[in-house]
Chains A and B, each alone.
Chain A
Amino acid sequence: MELTGAEITVRCLQEEGVEFAFGYPGGAVLYIYDEIFKQDKVKHVLVRHEQAAVHAADGYARATGRVGVALVTSGPGATNAVTGIATAYMDSIPMVIISGQVPTPAIGLDAFQEVDTVGITRPCVKHNFLVKDIKDLAVTIKKAFHIAATGRPGPVLVDIPKDVTTHKAPFDYPKRITLRSYNPVTKGHPMQIKKAVKLLLSAKRPFVYTGGGVILSEASNQLAKLVKQLGVPCTSTLMGLGGYPETDRLHLGMLGMHGTYEANMAMQHCDVLLAVGARFDDRVIGNPAHFNQEKRQIIHIDIDPSSISKRVKVDVPIVGDVGQVLEELTKQLQASKERGDQHALKTWWTQIELWRSKNCLNYDRSSKIIKPQFVIEKLYEVTKGDAYVTSDVGQHQMWAAQYYKFDKPRRWINSGGLGTMGFGLPAAMGVKMAFPKANVACVTGEASIQMCIQELSTCKQYHLPIKVITLNNRYMGMVRQWQQFFHGNRYSESYMDALPDFVKLAEAYGHVGMRIEKPSDVEGALKEAFKLKDKLVFMDFLTDQTENVFPMVPGGKGLSEMILAEDL
């Protein structure tokens, strides 16, 4: 029996076991929407802006590890989706985006709502396709899911012209697919692993630096085993938080631009560094020349060869799946008779504890104004550290990362690579769709939340009782902080004037709004909000306007050149 392209598209999604497609209709995808209407296996979630569709699919993917799916129309639908796609690309999130396109005979003629979607998205997708022939449709969608989910994951876009959705072909969804040009290596090279074992055992000041790759590869258990076996200190990047339990003593907190003193000092001064699924990003190591001033040997495990020796020269590269390689490493370490230099390790820990005793995340707990850090600490307590926390971008994001202690992977969901304001709320929708019973908090700022605030309407329609935690400092705080430090206190265009009354706004959307102005009300309000299990509560915390994020490694500086709160 022959099916239309629209039928085939929806059938493919069903075959892939897709639970939710986040999208927005339009002319070029009308036939696909018609097929969505006729079935109920794939539930469609109607957002209010295509950027949010992609962020929601992204949040779903980050929380579940499955491929997120978004569906948008041609032209403006596709261009609105680009920010979301780039966000997912920078953080290696598996996603399939289906976009409508003008009919094939109209392509290239500046047709109504025509843009070169494949051209526009090419630099920010793992791969993309334009399906010109109905015969290729099913196999292309199969390829898209395969490419998105394997190797280093990423978003894949499939652009489908309208006429292709009406053409007919027999439907045959391939069970498996192999591509001669795409075969990611998953098993680490045995010789390299052997070298790594030797190096780790010879270390005097070992350190384990872990990134988003640990989460993507579901390698938390393997990582914990290895770190505990060695008894060495470890750290996580912003993307890696939750990959190793933050409440464990061996974990020194996050590193990088706003990392802890102890994590950054250990990173700078270790003699053997094991980098696991991390990419030596500029926000992590600061100035590479400064980083290279200290001699250290680096072992780097990553599924993507191009991440290795890109910014920092590596001594022992291991290309492979992080989980598999860690497992092999641990096995060989256990089998080895040697135990490493325990005396040196003890001295190293003494040094680390000294750094740790600086208590770099301390802040004024007696303040009469709500300190943003305090809100996050209370959020952590009230949710017993077990919430899914999404965030937007700015100071609030850093405070959430610093003060919420993530013990499990996939609980911390933020746009690390692209730094996309507007990500938090739609991402939380995706998480809440996936885990309706879980506590989901979106930590945001009064500037960021306004970038996708229209999604409060989507939350109403689909009964998504998210808790929106707005740290309202009346400033684009992160911008203001840089202006204070590096631009002579000239707060150019960073004051958020004419803010709406968020309580009324939340109510207008059919939700509960709360304004919290005193530190003594913070805990009670949070408890009350989380008790309202079936309500979205928009919490507007009026926080200290001029609080800054510390520690901070200024741009162009080295990791050991942090500014600490006590320095000012």
Chain B
Amino acid sequence: MPMRHIISVLLENEAGALSRVSGLFSARGYNIESLTVAPTEDASMSRMTIVTRGSEEVIEQIVKQLNKLIEVVKVADLNEGSHLERELMLVKVKAQGEWREELKRMSDIFRGRIIDVADGTYTVELTGNGAKLDAFLEALDASVILETVRTGACGIGRGERILKV
């Protein structure tokens, strides 16, 4: 059964490193649900979070193939222990008439923040795991959603689990 896995990768912060990873996934036919990357506190390194799906064998190969890339320093399959996952979403909604109040309330319930207010629109910022963001969108009437943008998940192990060089 293809399971959803979150894989964290520490890699040298060098030009082309990202395309090596994305190239690996397309060349070997691995699935990518989302991929996020940014420099870490040590500017020489970036951290990438990849959400993928695959059987146990495929995930094992993904981890090995990632490790094989010369610029990859460390790889962890976060699913091997307990972990946290967060994603950021911005949603622009039509906010007119009675909807203005309603949208404010909805955003509060989901612990969202309205970060931009215009005549006819609100922009709501929401973080959480993917399911929570989905739930928020489902709770809204489809006709009020003007635009959404999501970062893709980033993940970290709980407690003592640390991915560092």
| Chain A interfacial positions (CB closer than 8 Å to B) | 118-119, 122-123, 126-127, 130, 147, 179-182, 304-306, 309-310, 313
Contact = CB atoms under 8 A, between A and B. Distances in A.
Given A180-B73, A305-B64, A306-B68, A130 B23 contact: no
Contacts of B20: 122
A410 B93 CA distance: 69
Contact of B16 (A126, A130, A182, A313): A130
The list of the 4 closest CB pairs from A to B, nearest first, reads A306-B64, A181-B73, A127-B70, A305-B64
Nearest to A129: B16
Contacts of A309: 57, 60
Given A147-B70, A181-B71, A306-B68, A119 B19 contact: yes
B27 interface: yes
Contacts of B85: none
B11 interface: yes
Interface in B54-105: 57, 60-61, 64-65, 67-68, 70-73
Interface in B111-142: none
Given A130-B15, A130-B16, A179 B70 contact: yes
Given A309-B57, A310-B61, A118 B16 contact: yes
B70 A181 contact: yes
Contacts of B149: none
B165 interface: yes
Contacts of A304: 68
B72 A306 contact: no
Contacts of B16: 118, 122, 130
Given A180-B165, A305-B64, A306-B61, A126 B70 contact: yes
A284 B3 CA distance: 31
Contacts of B60: 309
Nearest to A307: B64
B60 to A, nearest CB: 7
Interface of B: 11-12, 15-16, 19-20, 23, 27, 57, 60-61, 64-65, 67-68, 70-73, 165
11 contacts: A118-B16, A122-B16, A122-B19, A127-B70, A179-B70, A181-B70, A181-B71, A305-B64, A305-B67, A306-B68, A309-B57
A119 B23 CA distance: 10
Nearest to B24: A123
Given A126-B70, A182-B70, A306 B65 contact: yes
Nearest to A119: B19
A310 B60 CA distance: 9
A122 B64 CA distance: 18
Contact of B12 (A118, A147, A181, A306): A181
A309 B73 CA distance: 22
Contacts, number: 36
A126 B71 CA distance: 11
Nearest to B17: A181
A185 to B, nearest CB: 11
Given A126-B70, A127-B70, A181 B11 contact: yes
B39 to A, nearest CB: 15
Most A CB atoms within 10 A — which of B57, B67, B68? B68
Contacts of B57: 309, 313
Contacts of A126: 70
Most A CB atoms within 10 A — which of B12, B64, B71? B64
A181 B64 CA distance: 14
Given A304-B68, A306-B64, 10 more contacts: A119-B19, A123-B23, A127-B70, A179-B70, A181-B11, A181-B12, A181-B73, A305-B68, A306-B61, A306-B67
A119 B26 CA distance: 14
Most B CB atoms within 10 A — which of A118, A147, A306? A306
A122 B16 CA distance: 10
Contacts of B165: 180
A305 B15 CA distance: 26
Contacts of B65: 306
A142 to B, nearest CB: 14
Contacts of B67: 305-306
Given A130-B16, A306-B61, A181 B68 contact: no
Contacts of A182: 70
Most B CB atoms within 10 A — which of A127, A180, A313? A180
A28 to B, nearest CB: 19
A292 to B, nearest CB: 13
A537 B10 CA distance: 55
A179 to B, nearest CB: 7
Contacts of B73: 180-181
B23 A122 contact: yes
Contacts of A181: 11-12, 70-73
B163 to A, nearest CB: 14
Contacts of A123: 23, 27
Nearest to A122: B23
Contacts of A122: 16, 19-20, 23
A108 B98 CA distance: 52
B20 to A, nearest CB: 6
A107 to B, nearest CB: 11
Most B CB atoms within 10 A — which of A130, A182, A309? A182
A114 to B, nearest CB: 17
Contacts of A127: 70
B149 to A, nearest CB: 28
A308 to B, nearest CB: 8
Contacts of A306: 61, 64-65, 67-68
